[in-house]
Homo-oligomer: A and B are copies of this chain.
Amino acid sequence: MKFYSKLAKDIIPYTAGEQPKDKKYIKLNTNENAYPPTPQIKEVLRNFEYQDLLLYPDPDGTELREELAKIKKTSFKNIFLSNGSDEVLSMAIAAFFDEDDTIAYPQITYSFYDVYADYYRLKKIKIALKDYQIDINDYLGLDGKGILLANPNAPTGMALKTQEIEELVKNNKDKIVIVDQAYIAFSQGCSSIELIKEYDNLLVVETLSKSHSLAGIRLGYAVGNQNLIDALNRIKNSINSYTVNRLSMAVALVAVRDGDYYSDITAKIVATRERVCDALTNMGLFVLKSSSNFLFIKVKNACQVYKELKNRGILVRYFDKKGVNDFIRVTIGQDKDMDLFLENLKDILA
């Protein structure tokens, strides 16, 4: 580690889910969408003027922000674009937290939050779940600069209602509240975006990775009061003026316009989720109530089950962490893949 900064030496980087290259798996481990993105993308790529790639992209991403603003019923000035929602979250921490500031987030949540807190050298208040769910009463009257929540939460998949988030935001007016809505498309009555008009302390982060089957293009965004969006732009423009490339921008534009297609596949995924959840419950398993595109399933010897499923060509996610190491997290795939998963799980547990 010669020449390394203290940060580079000390940090424990995030470990992403496996992206296997060795063989073809039924891939239920990184919460990608079960269905391909809108077929209109085929035409976009076919007709793309490749010569335009010689030019830098629009650093402001105005056209895409305007389109997102229409859908989110806000103005493009309330939208910040970047290279995936992980990057948006990282920039949000830089924008609103200084070293030694305190950030509060759930004990069990997206494990990247620990990495961000360490990277930016924040103090952490990690709040235990109650029955695997976030209790907003635990987030009132806290010390610190702000709160970071995933809604629906990961890897539990459980969601808070909009009114609960509003309660939390309203009672923390002196704090910045960041709500990471990566899985919001698969929930109902849980989005906080409408609250940004009323509350200047709320930043909502979303991504096209899951909802729009576009993990491959890296497109994340934040929605909030213009003051907060300006802070994000100040950070972005101190790192990389052009975080979103031309191709991803063009693809994202047709995707967000094709609401009908995405309503259809979202409905299919939710139906499959409910069916699989029932089947698992009927097998006598404990499954958390999911508002996302994955299920968190309690199984004996979870690590062994994960390994045996992998041997059989089915990749799910296991977290070797106290409190969740008796669960597997399973992305909702297409029906045929979920049937195979159910069959194999039954067989392994028998």
Question: Using a CB–CB distance below 8 Å, which chain A residues touch chain B?
Answer: 1-8, 11, 13-16, 19, 21, 27, 30, 32-33, 35-37, 39, 41-42, 45-46, 48, 50-59, 62, 83-84, 86-87, 90, 94-98, 101, 115-116, 118-119, 146, 176, 200-201, 209, 213-218, 227-228, 231, 233-248, 251
CA–CA, A84 to B244, complex, Å?
10
Number of copies: 2
Contact assessment for B87 and A240 in the assembled complex, using a CB-CB cutoff below 8 Å = yes
Contact assessment for B251 and A248 in the assembled complex, using a CB-CB cutoff below 8 Å = no
CA–CA, A216 to B101, complex, Å?
37
Q: Min CB distance, A164 to chain B, in Å?
A: 22
- Please list the 10 inter-chain residue pairs (A to B) with the smallest Cβ-Cβ separation, ordered nearest first: A13-B237, A36-B51, A53-B216, A216-B246, A54-B213, A247-B247, A16-B241, A41-B50, A87-B240, A218-B245
7 A–B pairs (Cβ distance < 8 Å), ordered by A? A3-B176, A5-B231, A32-B56, A55-B216, A83-B243, A86-B241, A247-B251
Other CB < 8 Å A-B pairs besides A19-B56, A216-B247, 14 of them? A6-B98, A11-B235, A13-B233, A15-B237, A16-B59, A45-B247, A46-B46, A54-B214, A83-B243, A86-B239, A115-B238, A118-B238, A119-B238, A247-B247
- Note all chain B residues with C-beta closer than 8 A to A32: 54-56
CB within 8 Å for A2 and B200 given contacts A7-B98, A37-B54, A246-B217: yes
Q: Min CB distance, A346 to chain B, in Å?
A: 27
Contact assessment for B8 and A94 in the assembled complex, using a CB-CB cutoff below 8 Å = yes
Q: Min CB distance, A332 to chain B, in Å?
A: 13
Closest to A248 in B: B245
Q: Min CB distance, A251 to chain B, in Å?
A: 7
CA–CA, A21 to B63, complex, Å?
11
- Note all chain B residues with C-beta closer than 8 A to A248: 245, 247-248
A215 interface neighbour in B8, B19, B55, Cβ under 8 Å = B55
- Note all chain B residues with C-beta closer than 8 A to A7: 94-95, 98, 235
- Note all chain B residues with C-beta closer than 8 A to A101: 5
A54 interface neighbour in B5, B215, B236, Cβ under 8 Å = B215
Closest to A217 in B: B245
Indicate the member of A7, A87, A176, A214 with the most B CB atoms within 10 Å: A7
- Note all chain B residues with C-beta closer than 8 A to A209: 56
- Note all chain B residues with C-beta closer than 8 A to A5: 94-98, 101, 231
Contact assessment for A56 and B83 in the assembled complex, using a CB-CB cutoff below 8 Å = no
Contact assessment for B94 and A214 in the assembled complex, using a CB-CB cutoff below 8 Å = no
Q: Min CB distance, A266 to chain B, in Å?
A: 14
Closest to A177 in B: B3
Q: Min CB distance, A134 to chain B, in Å?
A: 22
A218 interface neighbour in B15, B118, B242, Cβ under 8 Å = B242
